């Protein structure tokens, strides 16, 4: 049911008891209440605008010796708020610094930086991080509407039979809306093109369902009480980083607020239980799913770093459907701690194999945004995922850039407002309060689907590294539609600024994973820093050609190439940057952006995947342009740039067509390749999943180690008696092999104890809602005070 409200009215309550009143009539009384509360000394807790007041009273510090941190903090008037132990950072708090301020506390920063024990210090700033969902097809000018499932368009049955659809074979599901999950098995039921899907059914039919793999959603929490999530929910892969008073570390969101449904929706896409007659089927419906609640409160560098590095020996895949604003005027990347966390996650996570970080590219296409301006998407350590419609084309909100690795079918309109009648089904998934929706879309919906596919590949081969996974995606992605953006790079791989290497193929990923040989060691080589300091001509370009000079053993085959650029310009949105490889592959590192009027220039690192498999030997061309179509008399100066090459010194001949000159694909060739890849994909014959115990050993061992760690930390999952008993057993590497009996006993007792906690959890969640409601009231009071 749709409820439209006047902007001058507000409502409270839930269920049937929902009362709406006129805000204007309450304004005076609320202001009086605000003054009364101020008299009760709560003013220090009132939040203010995050855009105006960015600086927090928190300071990220790295010291020479961990043991010195408490003495250091005390000497300078700080207290230790938190520790990012694996990254070597501490978070300090100073009581004399305003909780939020427009100005930095430069004197305190300077005092710490002057201390010989301090390696690094940075005052934390409040970050704006947006969830990458589309609330409805015409953007945000109108209230979000939740449609009844019966209102969605579905193709008539005769239409399906005319397309050769005669019902599903293999595994079947009784979940009521599985038949609407066109992105899993597309027979034209949404009105789209047959076979524009993840080709996942062939993997399910052979028993690959994500068993033994853990995926965590970094978001606003997940409603793990949902009947479609309860079975696969993992408390050990979950945390609440927004509520410091949450002793149970429960990622349960405030379910009174519809905006807190994002993480729950992402989790359902990944691991909604199958055949329980509820809602939908997750891509990896036997995987374990966790949630880190980190977007439902203040977000700053150390929060992001802590989330990305959370339990990195236990979690296999992390899904992130958020980032800096997709407004076409933001250029921002991760902070220093978050950069370190991403690097640590791929180098140390999963016993050195690396966490798979799956990241949504963004929905800023309607604002002429470029996903290359997002430093999370353009990190070599993230697997960036865009979106396509049920017809295999780019939706209107899609962002184009050289760092997109792949796309996933998640629905949407090709042109905004294209469907004026019945709404189209996008992604079917779980919603808060036991709900089920059929219209989740955007790259927010794409990334979790890709994370589920990664889980299936890891079940097939748990030894895959983070780079193996990216290689598998590159090698198995298909052209989804005939489009003019496709080129073939110097290694013979088709690639596009719109689609990356193509649409993800889960079945082909599992097939490739089964016999995959680990890629050779990664080499990272940097060019010198080229000092230029030459003007960028108005409505023209400056071009610099530099050779690849290896630092040691030459890289033979590339993966990622980064370009660091520092320049001045009077209008950042008119700057274009191109990188051309020795194979003549052209990557548009930065496109023009009509909304970006920033005058501060650029100091940023861009990334391209378009040189994947190429040999870097030869001359590289960097071209920086002022928009030729601009009417502004812009001035600018290219100060300096540097190239960073990621690749291998060994040739993976079986995975490369050698080094040739890049060329654009004519539409006829694109169509031929599309048909050939589709035919090959649909004729795959996967090896049956026999449940190889050797492959599961890694996950079971990690579960045991994680239980031990939780016991030692005094978590509430089990009592101290069990803790002591397990600690006495030692848990050394060889002994774990013989402790299956104790392990099963522990798990049984854990299940019993967790069941007994259900009533306590319910009471706790009510307390948590109370705290959230109190904060909501303070927010409203502050807003009134700001207006008055």
Closest CA to 291 of 263, 268, 317, 315: 263
DSSP bridge partners of 123: 59
* Residue 47 is assigned to a structural domain of this protein: no
Tell me how far apart the alpha carbons of residues 161 and 527 are, in angstroms, rounded to a whole number.
Answer: 58
Give the pLDDT confidence score for residue 734 in this predicted structure: 41
Report yes or no on 104 lying in a domain: yes
Establish if 703 belongs to a structural domain: yes
Q: Looking at the structure, tell me whether residues 430 and 494 fall in a common domain.
A: yes
Q: Exposed, middle or buried by CB within 10 Å (0-12, 13-18, 19+), for 606?
A: buried
Same domain, 556 and 628: yes
Task: Examine residue 322 and state whether it is found in any structural domain, yes or no.
Answer: yes
User: Which H helix or E strand runs over 445?
Assistant: helix 443-460
Percent of the chain with pLDDT over 90: 66
Q: What is the mean pLDDT of the chain?
A: 83
How far lies 157's CA from each of 167, 187, 193, 392, in Å?
11, 11, 15, 22
The range of the structural domain enclosing residue 593 comes to 523-651
pLDDT band at 499 (very low <50, low <70, confident <90, very high): very high
Q: Is residue 680 part of a domain?
A: no
Q: Please, are residues 470 and 405 in contact by the beta-carbon 8 Å criterion?
A: yes
Give the model's pLDDT for residue 609.
98
What local confidence, expressed as pLDDT, does residue 9 receive? 41
Residue 165 pLDDT > 90, yes or no? no
Distance CA 300, CA 124 (A): 6
Domain boundary among 74, 100, 125: 125
Grouping H, G, I as helix, E, B as strand and the rest as coil, residue 309 is: coil
Q: Output the domain CATH number for residue 67.
A: 3.30.70.80
pLDDT in tens, 292-343: 999 999 999 999 999 999 999 999 999 999 999 999 999 999 999 999 999 9
Six token digits for residue 772: 């959230």
**One domain for residues 416 and 539:** no
- 535-572 confidence digits (pLDDT tens): 999 999 999 999 999 999 999 999 999 999 999 999 99
Q: pLDDT tens, 420-474? A: 667 888 999 999 999 999 988 889 999 999 999 999 999 999 999 999 999 999 9
Q: What is the pLDDT of residues 728-748, one digit of tens each?
A: 333 334 444 444 455 455 555
DSSP codes of every residue in 351-383: GGT--EEEEE--SGGGGT--GGGBTTTT-TTEE
- Same-domain status, 568 and 497: no
| Coil, strand or helix at 513 | helix
Same domain, 340 and 204: yes
Same domain, 263 and 174: yes
Those residues with Cβ within 8 angstroms of residue 485's Cβ, 6 or more apart along the chain or in another chain: 400, 496, 497, 498, 499
Q: What confidence category does residue 600 fall into, taking pLDDT thresholds of 50, 70 and 90? A: confident
Place of tokens 């303070």: 778
Q: How many CA atoms lie within 13 A of 147 on its CB side?
A: 18
d(CA 73, CA 304): 23
Q: Are residues 18 and 95 in the same domain?
A: no
The answer to which of 496-505, 643-652, 773-782 has the lowest mean pLDDT is 773-782
Question: Tokens in use for 12?
Answer: 């409270």
Same domain, 271 and 356: yes
- Do residues 287 and 214 touch, judged by C-beta distance below 8 A? yes
Of all residues in the chain, the percent with pLDDT exceeding 70 is 76
Which range (445-459, 509-523, 641-655) has the least confidence? 641-655
Residues 631 and 562: beta-carbon distance below 8 Å? no
Helix (H) / strand (E) containing 488: strand 487-488
Report in angstroms the alpha-carbon separations of 360 from 122, 214, 377, 388, 783: 28, 19, 7, 12, 32
Query: In the prediction, which pLDDT does 772 show?
Result: 59
- Statement to judge: residues 242 and 320 lie in one domain: yes
Q: With CA atoms as reference, report the closest residue to 240 among 283, 292, 300.
A: 292
DSSP code of residue 497? T
Picking from 373, 365, 413, 417, the residue whose alpha carbon sits closest to that of residue 393 is 413
Evaluate if residue 112 carries a pLDDT over 90.
yes
Please report the pLDDT score of residue 775 as a whole number. Answer: 62
Is residue 633 included in any domain, yes or no?
A: yes
Nearest Cα to 370, choosing from 606, 585, 563?
A: 606
User: Could you tell me if 410 and 385 are in contact, meaning their C-beta atoms sit under 8 angstroms apart?
Assistant: no
Asked, for residue 673, whether it belongs to a domain, the answer is no
99, with CB counted inside 10 A (0-12, 13-18, 19+), is middle
Q: What is the DSSP string of 384-403?
A: EEEEE-TTSS--TT----TT
Sorted by sequence, the CB contacts under 8 Å of residue 749 that are 6+ apart come out as: 718, 722
Of 262, 341, 325, which is closest to residue 127 (Cα–Cα)?
325
4 pLDDT higher than 70: no
Of 47-51, 259-263, 333-337, 503-507, the least confident: 47-51
- Residue 722's pLDDT is 37
176 and 323 share one domain:
yes
Catalytically active residues are 219, 262, 444
Do 110 and 140 reside in the same domain of the chain? no
Q: Which of 488, 514, 540 is the last residue of a domain?
A: 514
The two structure tokens encoding residue 636: 């600018």
pLDDT digits (tens, 9 = 90+) for 380-406: 999 999 999 999 999 999 999 999 999
Domain match, 595 and 611 both: yes
- pLDDT of 621 > 80? The answer is yes
The pLDDT confidence band at residue 173, using thresholds 50, 70 and 90, is very high
How many domains is the chain partitioned into structurally?
A: 5
Res 113: pLDDT: 95
| pLDDT for 717 | 33
The DSSP secondary structure of 467-481, one letter per residue, reads HHHHHHHHHH-B--S
Question: Would residue 4 count as lying in a domain?
Answer: no
Q: What is the pTM of this model?
A: 0.82
> What are the backbone angles phi and psi of residue 376, rounded to the nearest 5°?
-80, -45
Choosing from 91, 110, 125, the residue where a domain stops is 125
Tens digit of each residue's pLDDT (9 = 90 or more) over 265-302: 999 999 999 999 999 999 999 999 999 999 999 999 99
Quick one: CA dihedral 135, 382, 183, 394, positive or negative?
positive
* Mean pLDDT along residues 175-200: 94
Select from 693, 689, 684 the least CA-distant residue to 207: 689
């Amino acid at each position: 049911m749709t409820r439209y409200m006047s902007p001058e009215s507000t409502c409270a309550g839930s269920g049937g008891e929902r009362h709406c009143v006129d805000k204007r009539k309450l304004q005076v009384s609320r202001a009086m209440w605000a003054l009364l509360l101020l008299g009760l000394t709560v003013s220090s807790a009132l939040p203010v605008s995050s855009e105006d007041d960015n600086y927090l009273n928190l300071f990220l510090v790295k010291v020479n010796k961990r043991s010195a941190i408490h003495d250091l903090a005390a000497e300078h008037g700080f207290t230790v708020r938190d520790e990012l132990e694996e990254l070597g950072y501490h978070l300090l708090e100073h009581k004399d610094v305003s909780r939020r301020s427009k100005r930095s506390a430069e004197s305190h920063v300077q005092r710490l930086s002057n201390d010989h024990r301090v390696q690094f210090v940075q005052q934390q700033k409040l970050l704006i991080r947006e969830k990458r969902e589309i609330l409805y097809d015409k953007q945000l000018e109108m209230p979000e509407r939740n449609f009844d499932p019966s209102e969605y368009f579905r193709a008539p049955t005769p239409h399906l039979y005319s397309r050769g659809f005669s019902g599903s074979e293999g595994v079947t599901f009784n979940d009521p809306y599985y038949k609407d999950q066109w992105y899993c098995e597309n027979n034209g039921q949404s009105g789209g093109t047959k076979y524009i899907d993840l080709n996942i059914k062939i993997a399910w039919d052979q028993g690959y369902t994500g068993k033994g793999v853990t995926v965590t959603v970094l978001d606003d929490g997940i409603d793990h009480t949902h009947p479609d999530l309860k079975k696969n929910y993992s408390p050990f892969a979950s945390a609440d980083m927004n509520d410091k008073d949450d002793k149970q570390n429960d990622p349960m969101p405030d379910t009174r607020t519809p905006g807190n449904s994002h993480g729950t929706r992402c989790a359902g896409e990944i691991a909604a239980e199958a055949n329980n007659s509820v809602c939908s089927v997750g891509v990896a419906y036997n995987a374990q799913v966790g949630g880190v609640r980190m977007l439902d409160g203040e977000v700053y560098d150390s929060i992001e770093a802590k989330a990305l590095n959370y339990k990195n020996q236990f979690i296999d895949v992390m899904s992130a459907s958020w980032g800096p604003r997709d407004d076409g005027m933001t250029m921002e990347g991760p902070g220093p701690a978050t950069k370190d966390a991403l690097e640590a996650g791929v180098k140390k996570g999963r016993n050195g194999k690396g966490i798979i970080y799956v990241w949504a590219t963004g929905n800023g296409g309607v604002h002429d945004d470029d996903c290359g301006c997002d430093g999370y998407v353009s990190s070599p350590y993230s697997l960036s995922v865009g979106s396509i419609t049920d017809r295999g084309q780019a939706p209107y909100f899609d962002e184009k850039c050289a760092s997109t690795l792949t796309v996933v079918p998640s629905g949407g309109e090709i042109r905004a407002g294209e469907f004026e009648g019945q709404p189209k089904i996008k992604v079917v998934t779980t919603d808060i309060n036991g709900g089920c929706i059929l219209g989740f879309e955007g790259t927010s919906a794409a990334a979790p689907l890709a994370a589920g596919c990664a889980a299936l590949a890891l079940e097939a081969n748990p030894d895959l590294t983070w780079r193996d996974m990216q290689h598998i995606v590159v090698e198995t992605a298909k052209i989804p539609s005939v489009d003019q953006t496709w080129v073939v790079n110097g290694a013979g791989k088709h690639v596009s600024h719109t689609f990356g290497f193509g649409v993800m193929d889960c079945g082909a990923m599992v097939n490739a994973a089964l016999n995959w040989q680990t890629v050779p060691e990664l080499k990272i080589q940097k060019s010198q820093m080229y000092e230029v300091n030459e003007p960028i001509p108005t409505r023209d370009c400056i071009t610099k050609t530099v050779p690849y000079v290896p630092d040691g053993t030459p890289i033979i085959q590339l993966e990622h190439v980064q370009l660091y650029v520092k320049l001045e310009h009077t209008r950042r949105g008119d700057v274009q940057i191109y990188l051309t490889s020795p194979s003549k592959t052209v990557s548009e590192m930065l496109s023009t952006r009509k909304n970006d009027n920033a005058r501060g220039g650029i100091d940023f690192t861009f990334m391209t995947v378009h040189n994947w498999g190429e040999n870097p030997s030869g001359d590289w061309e960097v071209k920086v342009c002022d928009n030729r179509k601009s009417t502004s008399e812009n001035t600018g100066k290219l100060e300096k740039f540097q190239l960073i090459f990621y690749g291998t010194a060994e040739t993976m001949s079986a995975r490369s067509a050698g080094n040739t000159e890049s060329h654009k694909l004519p539409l006829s060739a694109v169509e031929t390749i599309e048909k050939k890849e589709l035919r090959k994909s649909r004729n795959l014959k996967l090896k049956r999943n026999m449940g190889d115990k050797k492959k599961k050993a890694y996950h079971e061992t990690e579960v045991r180690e994680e239980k031990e760690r939780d016991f030692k930390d005094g978590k509430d999952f089990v009592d101290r008696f069990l803790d002591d008993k397990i600690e006495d057993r030692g848990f050394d590497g060889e002994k774990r092999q013989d402790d299956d009996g104790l392990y099963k006993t522990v798990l049984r007792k854990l299940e019993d104890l967790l069941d007994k906690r259900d009533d306590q959890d319910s009471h706790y969640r009510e307390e948590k809602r109370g705290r959230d409601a109190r904060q909501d009231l303070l927010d409203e009071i502050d807003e009134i005070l700001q207006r008055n």
